[in-house]
């Protein structure tokens, strides 16, 4: 489009019309530049699938338009936090600390107003997801930078950009939910076999590299079939949920507790030799027995456990097979007990 205006054109147009025309041309130029920026933002967001990658892509796109030291996303239920910080060294630690402090006040100043917090200026927006007016506000997005407040023109850019960001963020949240569901047992909330297969190799490699003990507990519920058969599947599901909750409350965050399927569970205990593993397993047996879940024929739900400590000469499959064999011995010798494979 040729925007040059000749001298004769200027004379014909007149000063008032010319001023109006120049304003319109400038508006079209700004719109064109913004459309280019929007297309670039869509391209960057399309290349990211998870929430962390999407926030990072947004930060990279935004930096030439609105300089910032940190962008952070936090769901209002505090289940998801993603922080992208461009600072380094002590400045990075200070920025991250400031973001955490501001997030503790997450119910305040979510209207996009700029406030001063130590050496930084902070601006937060409450974000909602959904296609209608009934959508629930679900998240907070924070921008933090040192030294200068967010100017009016920058705030407008951010506001327009957040409208674009909303739909891709919702897509990323759905992706993460589906990914989490694929790795979690839906009945008990425990990790499933897929997570076990993903993690067990690195756990064994860490034990090998640092010469640290690691023990596996193969667990199978006793008299679970009687509860299912005499009280119904709903009672069986409730029993599994109660057992899972009990076990979860007694293990460490570093342990790997998995429902392998049916009434079979596996507990991997890193940095744990056979004797402390045995003491824990006996407490687990007592705790499950203490649930006092009885079938209609009077049989009580319990758990049998087989323990084997790994050594570097064992393959993963051999280790797990031995644990299953020791579990079978616990079943054979009376149930609701712990059997150990001695070194």
So which residues are the catalytic ones? 263
Query: For residue 19, what are its two tokens?
Result: 């001023």
Neighbours of 236 (CB within 10 A): 24
Paired residues of 128 in beta bridges = 137
Q: CA 265, CA 192: separation in Å to the nearest integer?
A: 9
Q: Where are the alpha helices (DSSP H) in the chain?
A: 7-13, 15-46, 51-62, 89-103, 152-182, 193-210, 224-231, 233-248, 274-289, 316-332
Query: For residue 183, what are its two tokens?
Result: 């790795």
Cβ–Cβ < 8 Å for 222, 228: no
Cβ–Cβ < 8 Å for 44, 54: no
Cβ–Cβ < 8 Å for 285, 336: yes
Cβ–Cβ < 8 Å for 247, 305: no
What is the chain's length? 343
Cβ–Cβ < 8 Å for 204, 197: no
């Amino acid at each position: 489009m040729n925007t040059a205006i000749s001298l004769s054109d200027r004379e014909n147009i007149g000063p008032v019309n010319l001023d109006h025309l120049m304003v319109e041309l400038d508006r079209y130029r700004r719109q064109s530049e913004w459309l280019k920026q929007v297309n670039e933002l869509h391209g960057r967001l399309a290349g990211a699938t998870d929430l962390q990658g999407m926030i990072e892509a947004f930060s990279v796109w935004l930096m030439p338009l609105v300089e910032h030291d940190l962008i952070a996303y936090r769901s209002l239920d505090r289940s998801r936090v993603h922080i992208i910080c461009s600072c380094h060294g002590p400045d990075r630690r200070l920025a991250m600390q400031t973001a955490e402090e501001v997030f503790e006040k997450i119910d305040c100043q979510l209207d996009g107003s700029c406030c001063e917090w130590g050496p930084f200026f902070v601006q937060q927006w409450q974000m909602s997801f959904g296609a209608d007016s009934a959508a629930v506000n679900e998240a907070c997005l924070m921008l933090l930078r040192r030294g200068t407040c967010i100017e009016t023109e920058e705030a407008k850019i951010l506001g327009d950009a957040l409208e674009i960001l909303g739909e891709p963020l919702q897509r990323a949240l759905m992706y993460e939910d589906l990914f989490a569901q694929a790795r979690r047992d839906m009945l008990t909330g425990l990790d499933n076999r897929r997570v076990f297969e993903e993690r067990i190799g690195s756990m064994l490699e860490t034990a090998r590299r640092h010469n640290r003990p690691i023990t596996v507990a193969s667990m199978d519920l006793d008299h679970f079939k009687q509860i299912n058969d005499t009280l119904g599947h709903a009672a069986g599901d409730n029993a599994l949920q109660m057992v899972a909750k009990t076990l979860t409350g007694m293990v460490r965050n570093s342990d790997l507790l998995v429902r392998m399927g049916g009434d079979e569970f596996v507990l991997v205990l890193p940095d744990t030799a056979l004797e402390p593993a045995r003491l824990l397993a006996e407490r687990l047996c007592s705790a499950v027995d203490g649930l006092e879940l009885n079938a209609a024929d009077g049989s009580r739900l319990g758990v049998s456990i087989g323990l084997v400590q790994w050594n570097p000469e064992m393959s993963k499959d051999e280790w797990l097979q031995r644990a299953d064999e020791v579990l079978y011995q616990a079943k054979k010798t009376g149930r609701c007990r712990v059997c150990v494979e001695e070194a």
